[in-house]
């Protein structure tokens, strides 16, 4: 393999972990960050990661092992990105749950941050989560975790045997994301259920009243008002969760790496 090809291969390997980690974040969707800017960030961080690696002989690494190294780098990046992005998806999912109860899912829009259709409150809470992620230092934290991950799993190190306990933690994160989405939406859902109960009793005594038409407007106003009242609580919960991610990921990578 020629010298320039070696350098391109090394750059690709060094960029794989960073690119997969940031690709899991809604903040770096194709619709919001231009490809040139996004790829420049990935390549720049990939160069930094190569400087941190211990020396190794590229000639001793065969094609099969290179494929395994690429797969390992992508796997580690996906783990890091998923654990940082799970709380962001949870808040957006909470907004969609609220809109489903309100009946506003008929007015779905295309969210440029995620690139898929979402409801109005889902888009609003999703953007709130991304803003909180930025000003709470989430980008600095994920960069720190990426740099520290190279000490646990260097690029040239063979993929170690996976610990089942680490897989259980990874599986539990999916459940945690769903629990968080329900918890974020719970205060609003409680009020919406009470509104449905009150309108049901009203319709019992005034059957000529079109309760369905009234319910959407009342529930939409109540949901918006409660969400605005909960913004400070959402911000505090997101900040605490984001700042706790490095400790969780450090323990997870160590369990996977044993």
Segments making up each domain of the chain, as ranges: 3-257
> CA 175 → CA 36, 63, 70, 162, distances in Å?
35, 38, 28, 21
> Considering the entire predicted model, what is its pTM?
0.83
CA 171 – CA 211 distance, rounded (Å): 43
Q: Which of 35-39, 42-46, 57-61, 80-84 has the lowest mean pLDDT?
A: 57-61
Residue 244's pLDDT is what?
87
Residue 112's pLDDT is what?
61
Q: Quick one: tokens of 142?
A: 């994920």
Give CA angle at 130 (125, 134), nearest 5°.
Answer: 145
Residue pLDDT, tens place only, 159-194: 666 667 667 777 888 899 999 999 999 999 999 999
CA 33 – CA 173 distance, rounded (Å): 27
């Amino acid at each position: 393999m020629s010298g320039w090809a070696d350098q391109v291969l090394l750059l690709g390997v060094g960029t794989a972990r960073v690119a997969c980690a940031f690709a899991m974040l809604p903040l770096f969707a194709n619709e919001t960050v231009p490809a040139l800017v996004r790829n420049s960030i990935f390549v720049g961080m990939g160069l930094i990661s190569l400087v941190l690696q211990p020396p190794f002989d590229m000639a001793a690494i065969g094609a099969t092992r290179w494929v395994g190294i690429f797969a390992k780098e992508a796997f580690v990046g996906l783990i890091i990105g998923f654990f940082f992005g799970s709380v962001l998806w949870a808040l957006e999912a909470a907004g969609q749950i609220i809109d489903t109860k309100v009946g506003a899912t008929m007015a779905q829009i295309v969210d440029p941050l995620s690139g898929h259709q979402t409801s109005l409150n889902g888009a609003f809470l999703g953007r709130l989560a991304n803003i909180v992620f930025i000003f709470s230092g989430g980008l600095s934290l994920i960069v720190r975790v990426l740099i520290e991950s190279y000490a646990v799993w260097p690029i040239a190190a063979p993929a170690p045997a996976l610990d089942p306990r680490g897989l259980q933690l990874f599986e539990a994160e999916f459940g945690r994301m769903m629990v968080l989405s329900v918890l974020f939406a719970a205060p609003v859902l409680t009020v919406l259920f009470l509104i449905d109960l009150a309108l049901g009793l009203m319709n019992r005594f005034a059957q000529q009243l079109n309760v369905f038409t009234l319910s959407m407007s009342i529930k939409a106003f109540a949901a918006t008002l409660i969400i605005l009242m909960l913004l400070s609580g959402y911000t505090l919960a997101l900040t605490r969760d984001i700042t706790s991610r490095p400790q969780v990921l450090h323990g997870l990578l160590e369990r996977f790496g044993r």
